[in-house]
Amino acid sequence: MIKAILFDLDGVLVDSEAYEKLLNARFLEEHHYKTDLSAFTSIIGIGAGMDWRAILKSHMHPDDNKEELLDRWVKLIDSERENYPFDELMFPEVPEVLCQLKEEGYRLAVCSSSSQHYVDKVIDMCDIRGYLDLAVSGYQFNRCKPYPDVYLYARDQFGLKSDECLVVEDSPNGILAGINAGMKVVARKDYTFGMDQSKADYMIEDLQQLEHILKELNKG
C-alpha cells in the first residue's frame, strides 16, 4: 500500500525546465555559439555529484571556446534563477492535488537534485510548504540521481518500505533513481525536450491523474 509520494521538483511541480530551455536558446543566439540545445537537455535531472560540465562539454563543437561558454552559461542560469517567477511557473493543479493528498493521509516530500536554497525558494514562492512533510536536496548526498540516495533518505525519514513509496518524476535520471530505490515511478509527460521516459511504470498528463494510479496500487 502506498503511504508516501515523493515528488521531483523541476518539471513535475514547476515548469521551470521549459523556462530554462528558452533561456538557453536565447543564450546560444545572443552569443552565436554553434552548440544546439541537446547540450543542455542532456544534463536535466542530474545534480552536483555528477560532472555535468564534462557532459555539457561533450556536446560542444570543436571550435567552441568551451570554458568561456560554460562560465557564461553558469552565470546566466545562476542570476536568472534568483528571479524566476516560480509561482507563475507552478503547474496550476499542484496546490489542489497536494492538499487532497495531504487530507487523504499521504506523507509528501520533494526530492530534488537542486540545492537546498533553490528548493526552499521554489517551495516558499509557490506557497506549498504547508502540504509537505519533507523537502530534500540532492546536494547533501555523495551520489545523485540516477542513484537512489535522495529517495532512500526520504523513505527512511518516513519509516517506510520502498514498496510503500511512489515517486513522481520527469527526467530519465530521476526515473532511474526511483527504480533503483525499488519504488514504483510515475512520469509526468515531457513535451518540451523529448526525454526518454519509457522506464517509468506509469505516465500522466498532470498530477490530477495520480488519484487513479493510487487507487490501482492500493486496491485490495
Residue spans of the domains in the chain: they are 4-15+86-218, 17-81
CA R_g for the chain:
17
Note down pLDDT in tens along the chain; length 220 residues: 999 999 999 899 998 766 666 676 777 777 777 766 666 666 665 554 445 566 567 767 777 777 887 787 777 777 777 778 899 999 999 999 999 999 999 999 999 988 899 899 999 999 999 999 999 999 999 988 999 999 999 999 999 999 999 999 999 999 999 999 999 999 999 887 788 999 999 999 999 999 999 999 998 5
Q: Which residues pair with 202 in a beta bridge?
A: 186
- What are the strands, taking DSSP E only, across the chain? 4-7, 107-112, 134-137, 165-169, 184-188, 202-204
Residue 7 CB contacts under 8 Å (≥ 6 apart), including other chains = 13, 108, 109, 110, 111, 168
Q: In Å, how far from its chain's centre is CA 53?
A: 19
Level-2 CATH architecture, domain 4-15+86-218: 3-Layer(aba) Sandwich (3.40)
Peptide bond into 146 cis (omega under 30): yes
Q: Say if pTM beats, i.e. exceeds, 0.75.
A: yes
Phi, psi of 167 (to 5 degrees): -100, 140
Predicted local distance difference test score (pLDDT) of residue 44: 61
